[in-house]
Amino acid sequence: MIDEELVKHVAALARIRLADEEISRFSSQLSSVLDYMKILEEVDVEGVEETSQVTGLKNVMEKDEILPSQSTREEMLECSELEKDSNQVRVQKTI
């Protein structure tokens, strides 16, 4: 059961502001989704390895070299709507 307090807690972890209406709606929707997931408890997973990737590639190494880039630093900076300063994006105070 995902009650409204838990929805608020998870939204805070995910840094998403929710309106009151969203909190109550998500609480019931997420509860029904996660209830359904309980079906996984039926499966015997004793001794089964976890799958985190499917093609078996391991430790893929490449030469440490600079590849040509399609865009310049200035073009990258242009993507930000925030103020620029000394070739960087100026953000709000963090501490």
Partner 1 sequence: MELNKLTIREAMSGLRAKKFSSEELTLACLKAIEERDSEINAFITVDGEGAVKSARGIDKRLAAGEELHDLAGIPVAVKDIFNTMGVRSTCASPILRDFVPPYDATVIELLKQKGMVMIGKTNMDEFACGASTEHSCFGVTRNPHNTERVSGGSSGGSAAALAANMSIYSLGTDTGGSIRQPASFCGVHGLKVTYGRVSRSGVTSLASSWDTIGPFARNTEDIATILQVLAGKDRRDLTTSPKEVPNYADFLSQDIKGMTIGLPKEYFGEGVDTEVSEAIKNKVSQLEKSGLNVKEVTLPYTKYAVSVYYITMPAELSANLERFDAIRYGKKPEDTPHNMIEYYFNARGEGFGDEIKRRIMIGTYALSAGYYDAYYKRAMKVRTRIIEDFKKVFEDVDVLVAPVSPFVAFKVGEMVNDPLAMYMSDALTIPASAAGIPALSVPVASNNEGMPIGMQIIAPQFEEGRCLKLGHALDNLK
List contacts with partner 1 (CB under 8 A): 2, 6-7, 10-11, 13-18, 22, 26, 29-30, 32-34, 36-37, 39-43, 45, 48-55, 57, 60, 62, 67, 69-72, 75-76, 78-82, 89, 91-94
- Main-chain phi, psi angles of 89, to 5 degrees: -90, 130
DSSP state of 15: T
Contact residues for 14 (Cβ-Cβ < 8 A; gap 6+): none
Torsion angles phi and psi, residue 34, rounded to 5 = -70, -30
> In whole angstroms, how close is the CB of 55 to partner 1 at the nearest point?
5
Q: Residue 52 Cβ, how far from partner 1 at the closest point, in Å?
A: 6
